[in-house]
Amino acid sequence: MSADLLRLVDGFRVTQTIYACVDLGIPDLLADGERTADDLADASGADPSTLYRLLRALASLGIVHEGDERTFSLTELGRPLRSDVPGSLNGWVRLQGRDYLWRSWGNLANAVRKGENSFRMLHGTDIWEWRAEHADESAIFDDAMRAMTIGANASILDAYDFGRFGTVVDVAGGNGTLIAAVLAAHPNLRGILFDQAHVVSGAEPVLGAAGVLDRCEVVAGSFFESLPRGGDAYVLKWIIHDWEDEESVAILRTCRAAMASEAVVLVIERDLGPPNENAVAKLADLNMLVMPGGRERTLDEYSTLFDAAGLRLVAAHPTTSGYLVIEAGIQ
């Protein structure tokens, strides 16, 4: 029996074990130090016997440490599961455990067989329309994107000089986590946060906490229709990969229509990479098939999209977080 293959096959068990830990609030309950399993059960509202079984499994994974008398403490590996620490993955874990996500992934073979988006096959609509009608799930998704954006922000700012611009437009920028970091790093810069109304409604606290609310205009709308004019850079972070080529070109054309002659588009995405490499990007590509319906791409494929939208590839700036800041200008 191949132990390595079996570990991959059973990977779903690890994901659900960690999700249950976060959903019960265990990482935050251990923020102040060691507690007994019974104490954690009382605080989390869980059954003491079954919670202990969960905790000892987490201890075997290195997420928590089991001491004497069924006491548990959070390890360094498990620390990012807390909701109140820098680099928290709490929001991302909460998204990965959602039932609709698991059911969509469970339909992967059928999606591959038919060449269709898994989520749409199950729900009869796309993920964006569905989340717009499910405010609780939309909030969990936004929180997950905020968590992952915080983790990538430093590498993006290190890799690319936003300080040369006057105004940066964050297209589909969610609740403003990226544009807040860009503005905080460059005090002379102005920003425009653009996204759907139900998304940008949560931006003010994020921008306010970063101290940039007075330098960032919040605009609601659709990137298939129009974007604010006057930007020197139009940032699309983790947006184009959500869409197939036709829609991706349409989004880029909307950017092109709003741009002045010297403005640029900055697409922040993974490079799919060559064959037999980069499992992270290739599994992310399957997630695009399963959930939003888009795809990850190679740099050459992004260049082809730019050409179709009246843009041209200028440069690709690698980051330490595995993403590229892909710069495009007007043809």
User: Which residues are designated catalytic?
Assistant: 241
Chain mean position to CA 182:
17
Question: Using CA atoms, how far apart are residues 303 and 265, in angstroms rounded to an integer?
Answer: 12
Chain mean position to CA 129:
18
Tokens of 256: 């092109």
Phi and psi angles of residue 35, each rounded to the nearest 5 degrees, phi first: -145, 155
- Tokens 């079996």, residue located: 6
Q: How many residues does the chain have?
A: 331
3-state secondary structure the chain: CCHHHHHHHCHHHHHHHHHHHHHCCHHHHCCCCCEEHHHHHHHHCCCHHHHHHHHHHHHHHCCEEECHHHEEEECCCCHHHCCCCCCCCHHHHHHHCCHHHHHHHHCHHHHHHHCCCHHHHHHCCCHHHHHHCCHHHHHHHHHHHHHHHHHHHHHHHHHCCHHHCCEEEEECCCCCHHHHHHHHHCCCCEEEEEECHHHHCCHHHHHHHCCCHHHEEEEECCCCCCCCCCCCEEEEECCHHHCCHHHHHHHHHHHHHHCCCCCEEEEEECECCCCCCCHHHHHHHHHHHHCCCCCCECHHHHHHHHHHCCEEEEEEEECCCCCEEEEEEEC
